[in-house]
Amino acid sequence: MGIEVEKKAGFDTESAKEVVKELRASFVAGKTKTYEWRRTQLTAMLKMMDENEPQIVAALTDDLSKPELESSIYEIAMLKNSCKLALKEMKHWMMPKKAKTSLTSFPSSAEIVSDPLGVVLIISAWNYPFLLSLDPVVGAIAAGNAIVLKPSEISPSTASLLAKLVKKYLDCSCIKVVEGAVPETTALLEQKWDKIMYTGNGRIARIVMAAAAKHLTPVVLELGGKSPVIVDSGINLQVATRRIIAGKWGCNNGQACISPDYIITTKDYALELVDSFKCELERFYGKNPLESKDLSRIVNSNHFARLLKLLDEDKVSSKIVYGGERDETNLKIAPTILLDVPQDSLIMNEEIFGPLLPIIMIDKVEDSFDLINYSGAKPLAAYLFTNNKKLKEKFVEKVSAGGLVVNDTTVHLAEPSLPFGGVGESGMGAYHGKFSFDTFSHKKAVLYRSFAGDAAVRYPPYTAGKLRLMRALLGGSIMGIIRALLGWSKP
């Protein structure tokens, strides 16, 4: 009867279709392909960070109670580096690479050209919501694509800040942020993308890949796993402990894909290790770690409940040797160490993603490799602390994981010359540095031939003589070719 009800527009399949249509038109028009466009976007991203650092830190505090230093360094500074590197190297990355040609296709020249893939979808995670959203975007921009970014709804302040900032600083006709949860993500996944990059867990990854399969869309999956730390004796225990703590509780309080998940050490060394942890943890976080400002909180009550379930399991709760305190109101769990948990406990069978650190004991340190390889899923990272050269060699040779670090934890993430990605359950594909550019490109092979040099041997009617010559040509040796021409080789 004329009463207008204002309906809040939900982002549904139609909306998703519209977004993809618009981006595809922009891509086809060539907007994203020019060097200037790419450079402008990356420069704008740097400006965005310079002008909004306090707001970004505030959003991360809101979402995760992330300590300011972690936000400034592990999210903002890392992203700035990524932009700067792309800006510096992009021209070089975009240049075609010459490829060698052989006698078989003489005369010819060949090169490999990097083409953008087109319209790509980036679905990011909640634990490093700023970095894991924009770092892939840097690669996608550098490679010349149009982009939809879907940040995680579990870190809503950062998601909405991203939507605001991207709209303000970047080219909206080519780069869009879509906020939302399962329905919105599902609508996006129904569309045809030229590539999808997903950072998160294995369960959702399977849904993403199955959706991608319908359109034959290639995917990059950055997942996780139980990243083990093997601790040998005869090392500088204090340094090792500090580095493990920095990688575990210093990285979003254990809520990071490459956080040390559990420790493997020998029976003889375990107690010394536990003492060292107790000492350093107190030094870093004080006697009341629940009150320390230098630890992120648990992201939400779901994960809080999940972690308590791991901690309070009967066969596990008696194994706590340090910590265990919790504050439900503020969603905090103190750094907790457990010693000698059973292999069949919950905590040893799912990725912890939190401030609980189980220590497993074995007889000989070499036994740890089989333990890791038989755990059923290849982790994203694996760490070893040792001074034993042979052990290092065996570790590198035998342990399969996305990446390995010896005598430290997590720092390989900051090195752009190393590809960052998983294998098996921990994911597929890699990025960072030039690997980001490559992952969002199609490497197109181009062969240039001339009209001269047309060998009759290629064409029918086929004769024994042609077969002889064909053998020699494919064999690639000049002597072989000469012999064939003279009729001296077998037909």
Partner 1 sequence: MEESIAELRETFRTGTTKSVSWRKKQLRALLDLVNENEDSIFQALDQDLGKSRVESYRDEIGIIKKSASYSLSCLDKWMAPKKGELPLLFFPAKAEVMPEPLGVVLIFSSWNFPITVALDPLIGAISAGNTVLLKPSELAPACMSFLTQTIPRYLDNKAIKVIGGGADVGKRLLELKWDKIFFTGSPRVGRLVLTAAAKYLTPVTLELGGKCPAIVDNTLSNPSKAKVTAKRIVGGKWGPCTGQACIAIDYVLVEEKLASTLIETVKKYIKIFYGDNLKELKSISRIVNQLQFQRLVNLLKDPHVAASVVYGGSVDEEKLVIEPTILLDPPLDSEIMNEEIFGPLLPIITLKNIEESIEFINSKPNPLVIYAFTENETFKKRILSETSSGSVTFNDSMVQFLCDSLPFGGVGQSGFGRYHGKYSFDTFSHEKSVLHRAFYPELEPRYPPWTNFKLAFLKLAYALDYFGLILLMSGFRKS
Query: Which amino acids are annotated catalytic?
Result: 222
Interface positions, 447-466, toward partner 1 (CB under 8 A): 447-451, 454, 458-463, 466
Residue from 471, 483, 485, 489 in contact with partner 1 (CB under 8 A): 471
DSSP conformation letters of 26-53 = HHHTTGGGSHHHHHHHHHHHHHHHHHHH
The whole-angstrom distance between residue 132's C-alpha and the CA centroid of its chain comes to 8
For partner 1, give the closer residue by CB, 30 or 342: 30
Contact between residue 16 and residue 190 where contact means Cβ atoms under 8 Å apart: yes
Interface positions, 353-382, toward partner 1 (CB under 8 A): 373
For partner 1, give the closer residue by CB, 372 or 405: 405
For partner 1, give the closer residue by CB, 339 or 433: 433
Q: Nearest to residue 138, comparing CAs of 343, 450, 439, 382?
A: 439
Contact between residue 151 and residue 198 where contact means Cβ atoms under 8 Å apart: no
Q: Determine if 329 is a binding residue for partner 1 (CB under 8 A).
A: no
Burial class (CB in 10 A: 0-12, 13-18, 19+), 157: middle
Q: Determine if 250 is a binding residue for partner 1 (CB under 8 A).
A: yes
Count residues near partner 1 (CB under 8 A).
105
Residue from 29, 305, 446, 482 in contact with partner 1 (CB under 8 A): 446
For partner 1, give the closer residue by CB, 15 or 489: 489
- CA distance readout (Å), 345 to 274, 313, 360: 20, 8, 12
Contact between residue 269 and residue 421 where contact means Cβ atoms under 8 Å apart: no
Report the nearest approach of partner 1 to the CB of residue 238 (Å): 9
Give the gyration radius of the chain's Cα atoms: 27
Residues 6+ away with beta carbon under 8 Å from 176: 19, 23, 147, 148, 149, 166
- CA distance readout (Å), 262 to 234, 383, 457: 20, 10, 64
For partner 1, give the closer residue by CB, 188 or 339: 188
Q: Determine if 69 is a binding residue for partner 1 (CB under 8 A).
A: yes
For partner 1, give the closer residue by CB, 112 or 305: 112
Binding mask 193-222 for partner 1 (x = CB under 8 A): -x-------x--xx--xx-xxx-x-x--x-
Interface positions, 8-27, toward partner 1 (CB under 8 A): none
Report the nearest approach of partner 1 to the CB of residue 325 (Å): 18
Residue from 55, 108, 301, 318 in contact with partner 1 (CB under 8 A): 108
Contact between residue 298 and residue 332 where contact means Cβ atoms under 8 Å apart: yes
Binding mask 412-441 for partner 1 (x = CB under 8 A): x-xx-xxxx--xxx-xxxx-----------
**Alpha carbon distance 322, 343 (integer Å):** 20
Residue from 45, 48, 78, 162 in contact with partner 1 (CB under 8 A): 78
DSSP β-bridge partners for residue 217: none
For partner 1, give the closer residue by CB, 177 or 365: 365
Q: What are φ and ψ of residue 311, in 5° steps?
A: -75, -35
Stretch that binds partner 1, among 242-250, 322-330, 334-342, 358-366 (CB under 8 A): 242-250
Q: Determine if 28 is a binding residue for partner 1 (CB under 8 A).
A: yes
Return the amino acid letter for 383: Y
Binding mask 114-153 for partner 1 (x = CB under 8 A): -x-xx-----------------------------------
Report the nearest approach of partner 1 to the CB of residue 100 (Å): 4
